[in-house]
Amino acid sequence: MTYELYSGRRGGPRLFAVVLGVNEIASAVAVHLHGRGCHVVLSHDPSPPVIRRKMAFHDALFEDAITLEGVRARRADTVFEVATAMERRHQDVVITKLGILDLLVVRPLDVLVDARMQKYQTIPDLRQLARVTIGLGPGFVAGENCQFAIETHPARVGQIIQAGATFQADGLARRLEGRGSERFVYSEVPGRWHTPIEIGSRVFKDYIVGYLGERIVRAPFDGTLRGVVRDGTEVPAGVKLLEVDPRVRGAVWAGIEERPRRIAQAVTSALTLHDAIPASIKVKRKPYLVR
């Protein structure tokens, strides 16, 4: 199966790619697919809430101007607005609260990437929804609920799986300056989250970052606020509210980080394996493990 992509220098039909999720990994995938000439639509799912919002297109849903590596997200609220955006050749990706069933009305999907990172939920079979289906992280089984599965586990990030399952979630967080899961503060109860603190701010141990309902939520230690749920969001119990980077100098809270970039590159490599990208516009990159 081959496709004709728009290269930027000649016309032609462009792949229609839907990315489920608006987190930092989904956003990195959107940037890379956009760079390969695809029409890209990001579909928001409220679970889990996004905390690394300076690394993601999430806040474009609220009309904030968000740009990642020169690519901007444009909000669309209706199927008509999505379809209209796809007729233009502007340099934006589309972000919407419309779900996959709504987007299937726009036109048949060429590429579907599930980047919601819903590690502990049952994953539906995506294979009948698009020509190429790719699942990221725990819960995906290539050949059963997607065509390609991509590892997001820090030990094997970016590995493309053509048959079999990804690693199960182990609950372990990548360590920064000796800090692991203690970097995160979770919601103990459901409620509406409020915070006046901006991502990138310096915080100190027990500093009040926000309120979940009437409960005070404090920083776990000194550092830089790397991520925090958007003010005014209704959150369930047991999800991440904020993340603190223990580093002050060298802290990273914006842009596309190495791990999301490698996962996004693996997505485009999987499309190459599927012959979805013509050789004339393939980009040389480091090889990824395939099993």
Structure-token match 């005014």, residue found: 232
Q: 48: cis peptide before it, omega within 30°?
A: yes
| Triad 126, 229, 149: Cα angle to 5° | 25
Using only the alpha carbons of the chain, give its radius of gyration. Answer: 19
Is pLDDT above 90 for 170?
Answer: no
Q: How far apart are CA 279 and CA 275, in angstroms?
A: 9
Higher pLDDT, 32 or 120: 32
Mean pLDDT of 1-16: 50
pLDDT average, residue stretch 267-291:
58
Alpha-carbon distance 254 to 28, whole Å? 12
Asked whether 130 and 100 are in contact (CB, 8 A), the reply is no
Q: Is 186 helix (H, G, I), strand (E, B) or coil?
A: strand
pLDDT of residue 187: 97
Residues 6 or more apart whose CB falls under 8 angstroms from that of 162 comprise 142, 143, 147, 148, 273, 290, 291
CA–centroid distance for 235 within its chain: 19
Least confident of 42-51, 70-79, 169-178, 221-230: 169-178
The dihedrals phi and psi of 183, each to the nearest 5 degrees, come to: -70, -20
Asked if pLDDT for residue 8 goes beyond 50, the answer is: no
Instruction: Name the percent of the chain lying above pLDDT 70.
Output: 88
Q: What pLDDT is attached to residue 122? A: 77
pLDDT in tens, 92-106: 999 999 999 999 999
The verdict on pTM exceeding 0.75 is yes
Alpha carbons 252 and 224: distance in angstroms, whole number: 9
Tens of pLDDT along 20-70?
Answer: 999 999 999 999 999 999 999 999 998 899 999 999 999 999 999 999 999
pLDDT of 13: 67
Residue 90 pLDDT? 63
Mean pLDDT of the chain: 88
What does the alpha-carbon distance between residue 38 and residue 253 come to, in Å, rounded to a whole number?
27
Residues 254-276, mean pLDDT to the nearest whole number? 91
Report percent pLDDT > 90 for the chain.
Answer: 73
Alpha helices in 88-169 (DSSP H): 100-103
Q: What's the confidence (pLDDT) of residue 169?
A: 74
Domains of the chain and any CATH numbers: 16-170+257-281 (3.40.50), 181-245 (2.40.50.100)
Pair 280, 7: CB distance under 8 Å: yes
